Amino acid sequence: MNTRKIACLLMAFEDVGSGRTLEVYYKSLLLSPILVPIMVYTNKTSFLNSPKYISNKILFKIPGVSKSKSLAEVNIKYKVWFNECKRAIKVIKNLLGSNCIWITDNVWPELEKEIGKNIVQVFHGELFDVGLGSYFDYPKNLSFKKYLLIFVHGKLMRNRVIQRCGLQQHDKRIHMVGRVLNDTLYDGSIKKGNVLKQYGLDGKRNTILYAPSWESKRIWPIGGQKDDVSRMKDFCKFCETEKINLVIRPHPITIQHHVSEQIFKKFAKKFSNVYIDNPLEPDSRIPNKSIVASDILVTDLSSIALDAMSMGKPAVFIYPDKIRKRRWGDNLPSIKEVEKVSYTVENLLDLENKLHDLLSKKEKRGKITARRRFVNYAFSEIKGKSGKLFRSCLENCVKQKRTEFMRSKFTLILKVKRYLPGIIDFPYTVKLSAEAKKLLIT
């Protein structure tokens, strides 16, 4: 009986945001008898702060593009970035062979030729079709037609993939598995009281979670300008006066590139009712604890809204003012579309009034019903078993193609220098457990 396993590379490339989701997929694959998960990072902070259960990981020191200011600079940096990624993929293939499985939660058509045919697509989240946050910016996106498997959260993403990528309605490669990141929201492992106690917040008070998207640098109240910070202070004061707990969870891109971590720490130091849930900390990589602990979510079209709404919690969406809307673009969903399932505000006074109403009055039954219907459409009513379903589908696919995966000989890291003439100077770090080294197909 062959006990060797197939390597599954989870590609957290430019992973200031998306790597957290892939780490949860990694955890699910630890239970597989035929697959070995390996995280691949291009962000040093994520590599160093990854959860303790991630014993197999590779870091490639590739310069990011997030700090670029002009469009021309971004385009130049992306050209360099893609070239460096291609080199990294070549290194991986020489380390582990060409028949690995590559799992990605972004879309990189520029890298597909180097990766090969064993690409598995997952999604780290999308609530509405918001343009820059979309997976379908590429014209017609023919990429998915070549992929090994496509895992979607529910009918919302399934229908979008089929429509945008020209796939058949009954494409057997598409599997609706729910959102793996959310499994711990529903299994009872997170207790609201315990989280608030850990955060040092009053368990008898209502709790608001402010969790913006990576585009929050363009949306009030946290952005790259001084007036945004002052507005955030006003919001903290409002919560303090109303005796409300406020959990602020900035997006990793925001805290790494746009707003100093020290600014957030000042909020927590000045207001005893404020806690900063720092996504860069190892124990706060995913937002589930803060979601469970909160009563209301305030966001700016982040897909975390679906996570909160799946637990029956209302979400309040902050819309940009006219100046910021021009900077954001014209791809925002209409206010009417959002308000069918939740609430929108445009300024601090609107937000304060809406929060006051939600905390003092019962929501209308029609709004609650519409929200539940929308969540079921997005997540296909799968709760708590997404990780298991994802792993099972992937294993079945590998079993069917096992002969093909076994065909080529793989090399181990100890033999790497023999296979890397000319590129051995590539700056990378590899950490594999002893068990992984023994079990990988060689």
Residues 30 and 160 in one domain: yes
In a domain, 327, yes or no: yes
315-318: strand order across its sheet: 274-276, 245-248, 207-210, 296-299, 315-318, 343-345
| Terminal-to-terminal C-alpha distance of the chain | 15
List, as one string, the DSSP characters of 226-239. Answer: HHHHHHHHHHHHHH
pLDDT value for 138: 52
Residue that wins the pLDDT comparison between 177 and 408: 177
CA angle 360, 361, 367 (to 5 degrees): 135
pLDDT of residue 377: 85
Stronger pLDDT, 174 or 138, i.e. the higher one: 174
In order of 14, 19, 202, 282, 349, the CA distances from 285 in angstroms are: 16, 9, 23, 6, 32
pLDDT digits 0-9 by tens, 21-64 = 888 899 999 999 989 999 998 888 788 888 889 989 988 877 66
Average pLDDT in the chain: 79
Q: What is the CATH number of the domain that holds 360?
A: 3.40.50.2000
Q: CA–CA separation, 11 vs 177, rounded Å?
A: 20
Write out the two tokens for 390. 């994802």
Could you list the residue range(s) of the whole structural domain that residue 420 is in? Answer: 6-182+384-439
In a domain, 312, yes or no: yes
Question: 168 and 204 share a domain?
Answer: no
Same domain as 340, residue 198: yes
Determine the Cα–Cα distance for residues 267 and 43; give it in Å rounded to an integer.
27
- DSSP assignment of 159-214, as one string? HHHHHHHT--TT-TTEEE---GGGHHHHSS-S-HHHHHHHHT--TTS-EEEE---G
Q: Is there a domain that residue 67 lies in?
A: yes
User: Is 1 part of a structural domain of the chain?
Assistant: no
Comparing CA positions, the residue from 70, 56, 42 lying closest to residue 7 is: 56
Domain edge (last residue) among 335, 364, 379:
379
Say if residue 95 is in the same domain as residue 14: yes
**Residue 128 resides in a domain:** yes
Specify whether 13 is located in the same domain as 154.
Answer: yes
Looking up tokens 């343009």 gives 131
pLDDT at 407 over 60: no
| Percentage of the residues of the chain whose pLDDT score is greater than 70 | 75
Q: Report yes or no on 33 lying in a domain.
A: yes
Residues 6+ apart with CB under 8 A from 421: none
- Determine, yes or no, domain membership for 388: yes
Same domain assignment for residues 155 and 247: no
Q: How many domains does the chain have?
A: 2
Report the pLDDT averaged over residues 287-311: 91
Name the DSSP letter for residue 139: S
Do residues 249 and 166 share a domain? no
pLDDT computed for residue 219 by the predictor: 55
Residue at 435 is within a domain: yes
Q: Which among 337, 354, 379 is the end of a domain? A: 379
Answer yes or no: do 52 and 84 share one domain.
yes
Which of 379, 410, 425 corresponds to the end of one domain? 379
> 83-90: long-range contacts at Cβ-Cβ below 8 A with a sequence spacing of 24 or more?
84/60, 85/13, 85/42, 85/60, 85/111, 85/114, 86/111, 86/114, 87/423, 87/426, 88/40, 88/42, 88/60, 88/62, 88/426, 88/428, 89/114, 89/115, 90/114, 90/423
Assessment of whether the complete model's pTM goes beyond 0.75: yes
Do 296 and 237 sit in the same domain of this protein? yes
Rounded Cα–Cα distance for residues 195 and 291 (Å):
10
**Which sign, positive or negative, has the C-alpha torsion 1, 391, 169, 121?**
negative
- Amino acid found at 20: R
> Does 226 share its domain with 174?
no
pLDDT of residue 133: 40
| Residue 412 backbone dihedrals phi, psi, to 5 degrees | -90, 160
- 58 and 119 co-located in one domain: yes
Q: Are residues 143 and 258 in the same domain?
A: no
Residue 259 near residue 219 (C-beta atoms within 8 A): no
- The strand pairing partners of 62, in sequence order, are none
